[in-house]
Amino acid sequence: MAEFADLNMARTEIELAALRLAIEHGDDTWEAGIVAAAYRLEKGDALLQEVDDAAFDEWNDLNRAFHSALLAACPSRWLLRTRDALNEKCERYRSFSVYRDRGERDLLQEHRDILAAVLERDERAAAEKLLRHYAKTASGLQKILVD
């Protein structure tokens, strides 16, 4: 758990910096990409209720695409590369937590809240929503490991 906490903290700090820059530099095309990714993810949230692992894998891909779309307007390739590397390391922990917490979290609303704050270009609210979203994943993992 300590390794994940450190990894998640580093990934989150890098991602928040990238998100701030994306909001600052994003244009209509960036916004449209986020809206499209959110639309696909909303449709995919129903997949979480499925017990089949292929459906969960598909949801993972949709979730990854949404979070990447949020950062697509970030002009720093180094921030994005670093975020991608850290995110890849977090993936197995995150997947385990979300897989086990299916039905207990309202991921659809969490993503909608992030989307709304980003589209409003409210950096503070977007960062807060993203931090809360990731904290729920971390606390879900903590709960699993303690049980």
Q: What local confidence, expressed as pLDDT, does residue 4 receive?
A: 83
57: DSSP letter: H
What average pLDDT does the segment 16-23 reach? Answer: 98
Q: Convert 86-102 into a string of H (helix), E (strand) and C (coil).
A: HHHHHHHHHHHHHHHCC
CB 16 within 8 A of CB 70: no
What average pLDDT does the segment 86-97 reach? Answer: 80
Domain boundaries, the chain: 2-146
Based on its alpha-carbon atoms, the radius of gyration of the chain, rounded to whole angstroms, reads 15
CATH class of 2-146: mainly alpha
pTM: 0.89
